[in-house]
Amino acid sequence: MAKIPSLKSIQAFEAACRHLSFKDAADELCVTPTAVSHQIKSLEEQLGVPLFHRLTRALKLTEDGARYAPFIIEAFKNFEAATLALEEDVLEGTLTISTTGSFAANWLSPRLRSFYEKYPDISVRVLSSDQLVDFKTSNVDVAIRYSSGDYSDSNVVWVLNDKVAPVCSLEKAKTLVNATDLLGSKLIEYKWSGFSEADPSWASWMNAVGLADRKVEPYVTYSEEHICLLTASDGHGVALVSLLAAARFLERQMLVAPFDTALDNKSYFLVCPETYANRARVRVFRDWLLDQADEFRESAVGQRFFED
């Protein structure tokens, strides 16, 4: 290994060999022609032989340079092949996904069977948590995050926008002719650990339907959205929840959304490090997830609330 020159100098030589131009090699490597010239001069000094004839308007390999070049060019082809082998790994093994509990339970999990049927050699592992995963210290491949999408240091793909609206059992819905009927109902509210005044609430929903002057006091508040959904489906009140979290219940008519007014909320994004984005398992999951999102928007629930 002691006889191997610096990688930068070899890279400069390999590019100059292909282009026979320091300027074109520099453009490819995003450095200056002077930097390429210095790297090659350093390489020539270490090898003890000249590698190029520096002509007025061109470069020409010396006899030693011509003997050296094929080995270096082949080596860089092998580097590229090795990198592609990692980026285009086989469609098997485990794909670990981090996402929120509500999204995992009520939107993602009912659809995962179709992913398995399409890619039976990929085993999916879902870690549900509201905490942001650190890709550097975990074995997580991708995260489906609920946010505004500000991840400048990652590969980010928008999946779905979310909406918040009241949901309840079918029997309860029969008693709700208009929004004022909610004032005499048992209201269920969801406030998670990171809840703030900017997030949708019963007060902001009432404001959206013209009832801002009416005081609203939920009879129960839960920190887990799934509990809100179960409580409402059991007929114990009307819950203000994410319509994506409620999708499973709405699709199976375990819950109904009695009003058309829905508040905009955060969105779901598929996030991973840039270095993970071309992994085969990540690519096929991303494509599958986006297809599922498109199908959802075309569903009855999607067309009613998520057309935009």
**264-267: Cβ within 8 A, 24+ apart:** 264/161, 264/162, 264/163, 265/161, 265/162, 265/163, 265/164, 265/199, 265/200, 266/146, 266/147, 266/148, 266/162, 267/146, 267/147, 267/148, 267/149, 267/158, 267/159, 267/160, 267/161, 267/162
What is the pLDDT, as a whole number, of residue 261? 93
What is the pLDDT, as a whole number, of residue 308? 56
What is the pLDDT, as a whole number, of residue 205? 93
Residue spans in the chain of domains classed CATH 1.10.10.10: 7-87
Q: Tokens in use for 187? A: 């209201």
What is the pLDDT, as a whole number, of residue 86? 58
> Lowest-confidence range among 32-46, 133-147, 276-290?
133-147
Say whether domain 162-263 belongs to CATH 3.40.50.620: no
DSSP string, the chain: -TT---HHHHHHHHHHHHHS-HHHHHHHHTS-HHHHHHHHHHHHHHHTS--EEE-SS-EEE-HHHHHHHHHHHHHHHHHHHHHHHHHT--S-EEEEEEE-HHHIIIIIGGGHHHHHHH-TTEEEEEEE-SSPP-TTTS---EEEEEES---TTSEEEEEEEEEEEEEB-HHHHTT-SSGGGGGGS-EEEE--TT--TTS--HHHHHHHTT-TTS----SEEES-HHHHHHHHHTTS-EEEEETTTTHHHHHTTSSB---S--EEEEEEEEEE-GGGTT-HHHHHHHHHHHHHHHHHHHSHHHHHH---
> Lowest-confidence range among 81-85, 115-119, 136-140, 193-197?
81-85
Per CATH, the number for 7-87 is 1.10.10.10
| Average confidence (pLDDT) over 226-254 | 93
Q: What angle do CA 245, 109, 127 make, to 5 degrees?
A: 90
What is the pLDDT, as a whole number, of residue 163? 92
Q: Tokens in use for 291? A: 């297809």
What is the pLDDT, as a whole number, of residue 87? 52
> Lowest-confidence range among 2-11, 167-176, 198-207?
2-11
Encode pLDDT of 57-116 as tens digits: 888 999 999 999 999 988 888 887 666 555 556 688 899 999 988 899 889 999 999 999
| Average confidence (pLDDT) over 275-287 | 90
Q: How far apart are CA 223 and CA 272, in angstroms?
A: 27
What is the pLDDT, as a whole number, of residue 199? 87
What is the pLDDT, as a whole number, of residue 84? 58
Q: How confident is the model at residue 240 (pLDDT cuts 50, 70, 90)?
A: very high
Task: Considering only residues 198 and 63, tell me which one the structure prediction assigns the higher pLDDT.
Answer: 63
Encode pLDDT of 154-170 as tens digits: 899 999 999 999 999 99
pTM value is: 0.67
Are 283 and 154 in contact by the 8 Å Cβ rule? The answer is: no
Residue 215 pLDDT exceeds 60: yes
Multiple choice CATH, 93-161+267-298, 3.40.50.10860, 3.40.190.10, 3.10.450.50, 3.20.20.70: 3.40.190.10
What is the pLDDT, as a whole number, of residue 135? 83
| Average confidence (pLDDT) over 44-66 | 90
Q: How far apart are CA 240 and CA 191, in angstroms?
A: 10
Residue spans in the chain of domains classed CATH 3.40.190.10: 93-161+267-298, 162-263
Encode pLDDT of 3-23 as tens digits: 778 889 999 999 999 999 999
What is the pLDDT, as a whole number, of residue 192? 80
What is the pLDDT, as a whole number, of residue 307? 66
Beta strand 187-190 with 220-222: parallel, antiparallel or unpaired?
parallel
What is the pLDDT, as a whole number, of residue 168? 96
